[in-house]
Amino acid sequence: MTISVLALAVLGVLRPPPRMSAWVPPVAGAVLLLLVGVLTPAEAVDSVRPLVTPLAFLLLAVPLAVMLDRVGFFSSVAALVDTGRNPLLGLWILAAAVTTFLNLDASVVLLTPLYIHLARRHGLNPVMLALQPVMLASLASSALPISNLTNLIAASRYHLGVADFLVRLGPASLVAVTVGWFGYRRAGSEQAAPERIRDAVDPRALRIGTPIVLFVILGFTLGDALAVPAWLVALVADVPLLVLTWRSGRTISISEIPFGAAALAVSLGVIASAAAPHLGLGTVFHGSGPIAELRVAGAAIVGAVTINNLPALLIGLPLADPAHGQLWALLFGVNFGPALVLHGSLAGLLWQSTAARLDVHISPAQYTRFGLRIGLPALLAGLGTLLATSAVAG
């Protein structure tokens, strides 16, 4: 039964019924499992406990981006840095660096609005430029522990450090970012450009937003070392913006907070936890060597594509053997897999809601088409690099 519920929930996310939000089918599936006794409430709580921190960040980071845009910060920054006709490569490198050295959530939250404004100023397609942060949230988020929540969870469980990630996943990330750029450039050459938009620089917006953005960047950078969670950094940054937008009558509404995305992640986590004992994953995490690592990476990619990368990680992490390279293959799969589907990570859902608020809309099917053209070649190149790195390290 649990396998069927999981399949129907995933199908409901990918192709929700007419006039139904994507989060409804998985929530209904999770409730059904609780009602029939397949999963107890205590087990359900245990299965989603590791998701509490990232979901808290999700619910606080979206309002942060909304309010920064509402005070005019992103449009003013776009106007301020408008110095060239085609800044695509530089922006690709910037998004890769922000993802690697801060984290993928910072990249998606802070860069997506900026890139959309820059696209409109330069007469570029805003969909294509907005794709950069979310694609690099997958391709560039494996080189350091702070780059991705999945890395932090694994690092905490197995006591891994910066050097471990740099050696085992750093080369794969570098290769994937490079290959991804060529795929992105090729895909973007076929896109029509919209009418160019000119925004004026608003000094007041810069005075308000710059200290807040600097605080957020420093908070993400130093917070991990000081045990300050990212959601707390976002919460502190939200407070002055709430006051400012409330005074100006432009306060954020409840509908702009991504409760639906959070509900989707929680319900998929509950269903995945119930289905895990019936998935027969013991055979996947068996053995050592390139074939075993390839098998684990493939299963992790499938998990990220179907049930979201966080539940996939939580299912596979207890089974992964770090001594035989399985852990790195698992992390590779759950980090890179979301390049193929919109719901593969919370960062993808966060990106979708941020872009939609700025009138840039992309369907799950459209995202997957871009993912196959940009993300898939990068993923395959990164996977080959991972196996070669593992062979050398072994």
Across the chain, which has 394 residues, the per-10-residue mean pLDDT values are: 79 75 86 88 85 80 83 78 68 87 78 87 87 95 85 81 90 97 84 56 87 84 74 90 87 82 82 78 78 92 87 83 84 96 86 87 90 96 95 81
Distance between CA atoms of 37 and 55, rounded to whole angstroms?
A: 26
**What gap in Å lies between CA 314 and CA 44, rounded to an integer?**
13
CA distance 355 to 335: 21
Residue 191 has what pLDDT?
A: 55
Which has the closest alpha carbon to 346: 374, 371, 311?
311
CA distance 171 to 143: 8
Q: Which long-range contacts (CB under 8 A, 24 or more apart) does 359-368 make?
A: 360/116, 360/126, 360/127, 360/130, 362/127, 362/130, 362/131, 364/14, 367/341, 367/342, 368/340, 368/341, 368/342
Note if the pTM is more than 0.85: no
**Per-residue model confidence (pLDDT) at position 120:** 83
- What backbone phi and psi angles, to 5 degrees, belong to 19? 60, 25
The pLDDT, as a whole number, for residue 122 is 78
